[in-house]
Amino acid sequence: MAEYWDAYLANGQKTEHILERGKAIPQGLYHLVVECILVHTDGSILFMQRDGKKASYPHYYEATAGGSALFGESSETAILREIAEKTGIHLQTDQLIHYHHFVAHDDQCIFDLFWAKVDNRKDTITLQDGETSDFIWIAPADLPNFLETQLVIPRQKEYVEQLFLEKE
């Protein structure tokens, strides 16, 4: 089944164009990507391991749940759907904390990045077939060693370091 996205200008303005996953995005247009770091009330951070069949970063840990916003979705609607699909955790909009927005011109993506505190049972994470193969909660004390010794998507590793380790 085809997946459709809204097309945006680099300044975030939505256009009338509709994009389709897998097809070239016209020059000057972008699609919206959302990601969210999930932090348990005990301070541990959820990392999801990408499926080994993924084209990019197979077997790497993701510090975020996320993906492309579908046609008609806002950043908030898209990230709530993505979190539920990727982890089985159902959040409300007021739990989302927006912390970064940037445009990746080379990838023709606009990123909206969030983090959220969760209090679900840690063993209730569900894996999305073809997307994720495992998960792990990393306690704050173990975070530096985990980031140093495990394969973590580089951009997301930076977010975690900035948000949770670089405290003066």
Q: What is the CATH number of the domain that holds 55?
A: 3.90.79.10
How far apart, in whole angstroms, are the C-alpha atoms of residue 53 and residue 58? 6
Q: What are the distances in angstroms from CA 44 to CA 3, 76, 96, 138, 164?
A: 33, 23, 17, 5, 10
Pairing of strands 14-20, 96-104: unpaired
Calculate ∠ Cα 152-154-160, nearest 5°.
Answer: 75
Per-residue pLDDT of the chain (168 residues; tens, 9 = 90+): 899 999 999 999 999 999 999 999 999 999 999 999 999 999 999 999 999 999 899 999 999 889 999 999 999 999 999 999 999 999 999 999 998 999 999 999 999 999 999 999 999 999 988 889 999 999 999 999 999 999 999 989 998 998 888 764
Question: Phi and psi for 88 in degrees, rounded to 5?
Answer: 85, 0
CB 29 within 8 A of CB 9: yes
Per-residue confidence (pLDDT) for residue 167, from 0 to 100: 61
Domain span at residue 91?
4-165
pLDDT at 1: 83
The amino acid at residue 157 is K
How many structural domains are present in the chain?
1
